[in-house]
Structure 1
Amino acid sequence: MQVTDILNQADEQLQNQTNPFSDSPDTNLAYETQKGRMLWGKSDDILASGELDYLENKVNLIFTSPPFILNRKKKYGNETGEAYIKWLCDFGPLFKKMLTPNGSIVIELGNAWEPGQPVMSTLVMKALLEFQEKNGLYLCQEFIWNNPAKLPSPAQWVNIERSRVKDSFTKIWWLSPVTKPKACNLNVLQEYSNSMKNLLKRGSYNAGKRPSEHDISETSFLKNNGGAIPSNVLTYSNTASSDEYMNYCKLNKIALHPARMPADLARFFIKLLTDPNDIVLDPFGGSNTTGASAEELNRFWLSIEANDQYIKGSQGRFKDKLISSNF
Structure 2
Amino acid sequence: MMQGNCLNYMSSSVPDASVDLIMTSPPFALNRKKAYGNVAEADYCAWFKPFALEMHRILKDSGSLVLDIGGVWDKGQPTRSLYHFKLLIMLVEECGYYLAQEHYWHNPSKLPSPIEWVNKKRVRVKDSVNTVWWLSKSPHPKADNRRVLQAYSASMKKQWKTGGAAGLRPSGHEMTDKFTDVGGSIPANLIVAPNSASSGQYFNYCKEAGLTPHPARFPEKLPEYFIKFLTTQGDLVLDPFAGSCTTGAVAEKLGRRWVCCDASEDYLRGAVGRFVS
- TM category, shorter: over 0.9
Alignment of 1:157-176 (within 5 A): 157-176=117-136
What do the CA deviations read for 1:154-184 (whole angstroms, capped 9, x no partner)? Answer: 1111112211110000000100121110101
Deviation at 1:72, TM superposition (A): 4.6
In the alignment, structure 1 residue 223 sits paired with structure 2 residue 169: no
What TM-score do you get using the length of structure 2 for normalisation? 0.96
- Calculate percent identity across the aligned residue pairs: 45
In the alignment, structure 1 residue 47 sits paired with structure 2 residue 6: no
- One-letter identity of the residue aligned with 1:204: G
| Worse-superposed segment, 165-174 or 121-130 | 121-130
Counterparts of 2:77 and 2:170 in 1: how far apart (Å)?
Answer: 44
Alignment of 1:1-327 (within 5 A): 38-48=1-11, 50-53=12-15, 56-200=16-160, 202=161, 204-219=163-178, 222-319=179-276
Counterparts of 1:245 and 1:255 in 2: how far apart (Å)?
Answer: 11
Cα distance change on mapping 1:315 and 1:206 into 2, 3 Å: closer
What residue ranges of structure 1 are gaps of 5+ in the alignment? Answer: 1-37, 321-327
Asked if the contact 1:245–1:317 (Cα under 8 Å) also holds between the matched residues in 2, the reply is yes
RMSD over aligned Cα atoms: 1.4
Q: Greater Rg, structure 1 or structure 2?
A: 1
Counterparts of 1:143 and 1:183 in 2: how far apart (Å)?
Answer: 15
What do the CA deviations read for 1:175-218 (whole angstroms, capped 9, x no partner)? Answer: 01211101011111111111112233x26244233344332212
- One-letter identity of the residue aligned with 1:142: E
Counterparts of 1:204 and 1:71 in 2: how far apart (Å)?
Answer: 54
- One-letter identity of the residue aligned with 2:28: F
Deviation at 1:92, TM superposition (A): 2.1
Deviation at 1:115, TM superposition (A): 1.5
Deviation at 1:71, TM superposition (A): 3.2
Asked if the contact 1:146–1:169 (Cα under 8 Å) also holds between the matched residues in 2, the reply is yes
Cα distance change on mapping 1:152 and 1:51 into 2, 3 Å: same
Counterparts of 1:107 and 1:248 in 2: how far apart (Å)?
Answer: 28
| Worse-superposed segment, 130-139 or 229-238 | 130-139
What residue ranges of structure 2 are gaps of 5+ in the alignment? Answer: none
Counterparts of 2:242 and 2:64 in 1: how far apart (Å)?
Answer: 17
Counterparts of 2:54 and 2:185 in 1: how far apart (Å)?
Answer: 36
